[in-house]
Structure formats: structure tokens, C-alpha cells
Amino acid sequence: MKIGLFGGTFDPPHQAHLGACLLAMKKLNLDRVWWLVTPGNPLKDTRGLAPLSERIAHARELAQHPRIDVTGFEAELGVRYSYDTIRYLVGRCPGVRFVWIMGADNLRSFHRWQKWRGIAGLVPIAVVDRLGPSLYSTAGVAGQAMAKAHIPESLAVSLPDRRPPAWVFLHGLKSPLSSTALRAARGHKSVGEHGETAGSRRESQKVAEPAAAAGTLAGVDSVNPPPIS
């Protein structure tokens, strides 16, 4: 089973989110993609952030795809760092080949994420082309640091089977859509782009140990990771 992980606030979700996942699903031959809707970013002003339940509902309404699952299980798990989420999932689902999916704008600031090198060591990464950031994202700190782990797009289908660190740049989307711009248009204060730009999704809580977290999640279907089938 090959599953893509796509994290962010999704406030609001938009067609570029869906397009990025469909592109990755096709080029990487993924079985499923999980949208991980984060509770928020404590380092930014979240007063204008829509409630988690609302963002999940809107994301599900947009996705409408049999192989895309939308989940907010991070809130119950008690984590918001991507590293902790990925570490938990890799430990809980040893037979699954996970791939982290992110936009080119996030690659540019990836070095500011919590334990970003650890993320690169846990799962392969697919970076999706975006209008503007693609021009300089690979020249950033993380792009240069991971240069030796980069594989050509012609080999993208092999990414899920590769031992991390490994990453690929996927071309073909170049959408100008931005959650930040859409929030501004609706009159909310900007709370950061989807994903973890500018070091987003940081928080003071520590990840629960897998056994304890599994106990917390038991019987709570709305926050469990999507079923693997």
C-alpha cells in the first residue's frame, strides 16, 4: 500500500490542493492520499482560523474522490509537528509506504520546519510545482542540502519504494491559488499558507508514545487515521 500524506490548515481548501494530490497520485502511482488537517499554527495569529471541524468538512466537500481521505486525527493525537505525525504513522503502519507531498513554496522554507531533516529521513518527499516559488525553491537551504537525494521526474513512480532520503519535483500544476490570498479575500487575517511555510505547525506539546496515542485514539472514529484498505 502506497499512501501520500498532504498536511496543512486547509483554510480554505481549494482546487490547487486537489490538483497537487491528483498529480502526485498519478505520477507516483499512489493507492491513496490522506489530507492531514492540522488544528492550527500556535506561532501565528489563529484568531481568523476557521474551526477544525469546519475546515475538515469543507476539505471533504472539495475532495470528493474515492482515494482521498480527509482526517483531523492530529488534534486527538496531540501533535502538530509534521515530524511527530509522520513518525507516529510510520511506526503504527509498518507495511505502508508513505510519501510526504508538499508544494514548491514549502520546499523553499522546509529548513525552518521542526526536525526537517528527520522528516526527510522518515519518508520520501514529492514536491509539486507551483507558480512562482518553483523558480527558486530548489535553490533554498533544504533543496541544496537534499540535492544528492533528488531523483529525476522520469523515475517518480519509483519514489514510494525508495529508501529515504529521496525526493522528486513534480511538474505540471503551476496553480496560482493560495489559501492565504483566499483568506484575505474573505476578510480574515492571514495565518499562513497551507502546509508549514515560515516554520508553521510548530507547537509546545510533545508527541505521545505510540502505545499511549493508540489508546487515546481507540474508539474515536472521527480522529483515527483513515482505514488502510
How far, in Å, CA of 29 to CA of 97, rounded? Answer: 12
Q: Provide the mean pLDDT of the chain.
A: 79
| pLDDT for residue 172 is more than 50 | yes
Span 144-170, pLDDT tens digits: 999 999 999 999 999 999 999 999 999
**What mean pLDDT comes out for the span 130-145?**
80
Residue ranges covered by each domain of the chain = 2-216
Helices (H), the chain: 15-28, 52-63, 73-77, 82-92, 104-108, 116-122, 141-145, 179-185, 210-217
Span 60-117, pLDDT tens digits: 999 999 999 999 999 988 887 899 999 999 999 999 999 999 999 889 889 999 999 9
The residue among 216 and 179 whose pLDDT is bigger is: 179
On the CB side of 77, CA atoms within 13 Å amount to: 27
Span 45-56, pLDDT tens digits: 677 889 999 999
* pTM exceeding the 0.85 threshold for the entire prediction: no
- What is the pLDDT confidence band of residue 133, given thresholds at 50, 70 and 90? low
The predicted pLDDT at position 223 comes to 36
Going by C-alpha positions, the residue among 82, 5, 71 that lies closest to residue 41 is 82
| pLDDT for residue 216 is more than 70 | no
How far, in Å, CA of 135 to CA of 193, rounded? Answer: 18
| pLDDT for residue 226 is more than 50 | yes
Does the structural domain 2-216 have CATH classification 1.10.3470.10? no
On the CB side of 54, CA atoms within 13 Å amount to: 7
Q: In what order do the strands lie in the sheet with 2-8?
A: 68-71, 32-37, 2-8, 97-103, 125-128, 167-170, 150-151
In the chain, the amino acid numbered 225 is: P
Helices 15-28 and 52-63, axial angle in degrees (round to 10): 60
C-alpha cell at 28: 507516483
